[in-house]
Structure 1
């Protein structure tokens, strides 16, 4: 498990860090948390769902993008660290940084400890004046905006759960001739029938809290289940060591462009 430590001007004034090189840190992630702000970017590439977190009064639903089929491999990750889609979920793009709660419950910038180094060829955290370098400040701004939208996203998910619209999703995927269907456990989805039967007042309440967009996005995204099977087939070919030229054609069909920047303008 990665260890995260708060970035400190006092402790890290002379410390450098290794920036992210690819996405191998997400190699075993089967689901990726998502934000409402990025729904339109996610829909062409991902199947969305919910996972349950916490218990009792602390139970909540986290909206996620599906990136695996219950095994150990993240199907959206190439063996060389490239992401196999033209849009990378925002939660991954800030690495090796993230926002974390300090002892006083304030959100602070944290960094994955193994990314810190004294190597002079790495990038500095702070400049000569003791301020965050431009790259680190840009990352902090991006993560702060993501964190603000995460609160909006959690509130919308809570509304959907409290309204009774989230149900277990017994997902089964066909795997081709001669293979048993694959069952994926622990996922939840929107109950479309229950949503269509909502009273006008309850429907308006979901709309006013941004929850409708999340609900419809999850329902529409279920048509993207083929994205998972396409990537599973790609990995099978890749590990079977087929010809490099054929593998190159396959990956080109999955990658498209490369949206890998630290901007929060998800609506374009």
Structure 2
């Protein structure tokens, strides 16, 4: 993931020297997501995300990636007032907060939102600068998250370079307001309809064909915004 999720108010790269005595208080709910409208998706969750969220592809600094739209006008419509998620399908990136990963070229760096530093939290490093058991478990999850983001980028890159995605400008109107999407990418259905059987087979064998169709149909989930906004 190249971009940092909007939920991070004060993101910093973790350092065993600088943050030797850092303590972290993990969030008890998802209230930190209340103003987030868009989240990047990992490869393993794309299909499940298309069931409820509009899923599209974006491009930043030549990196193509999938993302889900979860809100509008600084309001996450899938979040209850008590901070609980309205669905069982919570974006993977949310499950690791206030930690995350940031990609710079081919390397991933662990980041942390300093607003969750707390005197009564859990230590990240011990006095010798070694990882605590608490952080080792978190780091293992972040390592898997980075791999999953990498797979999402590889899938998106192949689809883009193969001509299976096309540029889209989209205007959406809901009860909560209007949304404009410029230079987004969606499945190029016309191109896919002209594919030779062997190319279709290759897409299907990789699982990409199902992703393309599911993502394309997920745009109708914008209709759910009016429903979830009232729950």
Q: TM-score, normalising length from structure 2? A: 0.80
Q: CA–CA distance in 2 between the matches of 1:90 and 1:163?
A: 27
| TM-aligned CA distance change 1:101 to 1:30, over 3 Å | closer
> Retained in 2: the 8 A contact 1:32–1:89?
yes
Matched residue count? 223
- Corresponding residue for 2:75? 73
Q: 1:39 aligns with which of 27, 35, 46?
A: 46
Cα deviation per residue 1:184-212 (whole Å; 9 max; x = unaligned)?
32243212222122223433443455533
State the SS of the aligned residue for 2:64.
strand
| TM-aligned CA distance change 1:77 to 1:153, over 3 Å | same
- Corresponding residue for 1:150? 149
> Retained in 1: the 8 A contact 2:21–2:127?
no
Is 1:9 the counterpart of 2:16 in the alignment?
yes
Farther off after superposition, 75-84 or 30-39: 75-84
Q: CA–CA distance in 1 between the matches of 2:101 and 2:181?
A: 29
**Runs of at least 5 residues in structure 2 that lack an aligned partner in the other structure:** 1-7
- Corresponding residue for 2:112? 111
State the SS of the aligned residue for 2:48.
helix
Cα deviation per residue 1:199-227 (whole Å; 9 max; x = unaligned)?
23433443455533431220242343333
RMSD: 3.0
Cα deviation per residue 1:90-141 (whole Å; 9 max; x = unaligned)?
0111111112358x96434221122223x1x222213577543333222211
> Retained in 2: the 8 A contact 1:36–1:214?
no
Q: TM-score, normalising length from structure 1? A: 0.70
Q: CA–CA distance in 1 between the matches of 2:153 and 2:200?
A: 18
**CA positional deviation for 1:174:** 5.7
Higher strand share: 2
Higher helix share: 1
**Runs of at least 5 residues in structure 1 that lack an aligned partner in the other structure:** 235-249, 251-268
Q: CA–CA distance in 1 between the matches of 2:169 and 2:226?
A: 17
**CA positional deviation for 1:175:** 4.4
